[in-house]
Chains A and B, each alone.
Chain A
Amino acid sequence: NAGVTQTPKFQVLKTGQSMTLQCAQDMNHEYMSWYRQDPGMGLRLIHYSVGAGITDQGEVPNGYNVSRSTTEDFPLRLLSAAPSQTSVYFCASSTDRVPGELFFGEGSRLTVL
């Protein structure tokens, strides 16, 4: 079972470059989220989606865009990367309409120089 798949696992960018972190799930989950993890700050919610065509902002949305054209995919776009976006990014999905168990990908480590 693939579960939640994130690509790439590692990426180095220069300031100002753009890139997309890919996230795909094969569990037919309605709900998908992006978190960033920084030392001492835990996981902070960037954006989330409650279904195809519906997205909303989390705690730290600035500098990131998302879209949800299909149930399976939830890409995270960095339009103009900044060193402050150096972090480990996790995608998660869930099947419940009420807060439930999140299934996480293995993470994508991004470094912005």
Chain B
Amino acid sequence: AQSVTQPDIHITVSEGASLELRCNYSYGATPYLFWYVQSPGQGLQLLLKYFSGDTLVQGIKGFEAEFKRSQSSFNLRKPSVHWSDAAEYFCAVGAKYSSASKIIFGSGTRLSIRP
């Protein structure tokens, strides 16, 4: 069965600093990997996704993520964070050849921005 681990519950970074959020997944085959962002009181919005090909994927709002099969990781990065990036971030894994609906989420990392 697929699973996702986000080891950091809460991270605080200074505005303008770089950011890396960690995500480790467990799945036997090649997974489909996602990062979603949730602003307070809102639903989730897709930041980026990895299906195959180039292991470095670009997303919206200046985010990128790198798939590392050897480490079973899909860490999210941003070179310089803005105060508006404060939100909760979820990593998710979908099983290949499975239905689109069955996507499993990690427990989330809350990002705070220090002025």
Chains A and B come from one and the same complex = yes
Contact B43–A100 (Cβ < 8 Å): no
Total cross-chain contacts (CB, 8 A): 83
Give the interface segment out of A11-19, A36-44, A78-86.
A36-44
A-contact 0/1 string along B5-23, CB 8 Å cutoff: 0100100000000000000
Do A50 and B90 have beta carbons less than 8 Å apart?
Answer: no
Contact B105–A43 (Cβ < 8 Å) = yes
Which residues, 38 to 91 on A, are CB-close (under 8 Å) to B? 40-45, 48-50, 56, 58-59, 90
Number of B residues, CB within 8 Å of A:
28
Are B101 and A32 within 8 A (Cβ)? yes
By a CB distance below 8 angstroms, the chain A residues around B99 are 31, 48, 50, 56, 97, 99
Say whether B42 faces chain A, with CB atoms less than 8 Å apart: yes
Q: Say if the beta carbon of B56 comes within 8 Å of chain A.
A: no
Query: Are the CB atoms of B100 and A98 closer together than 8 Å?
Result: yes
Q: Mark B79-99, 1 if CB is under 8 A from A, else 0.
A: 000000000001000111111
The answer to whether A33 and B106 touch across the interface, beta carbons within 8 angstroms, is no
Tell me the minimal C-beta distance from A111 to chain B in angstroms.
16
Shortest 7 CB-CB contacts between residues of A and residues of B: A99-B94, A104-B43, A48-B101, A42-B107, A43-B105, A99-B32, A31-B101
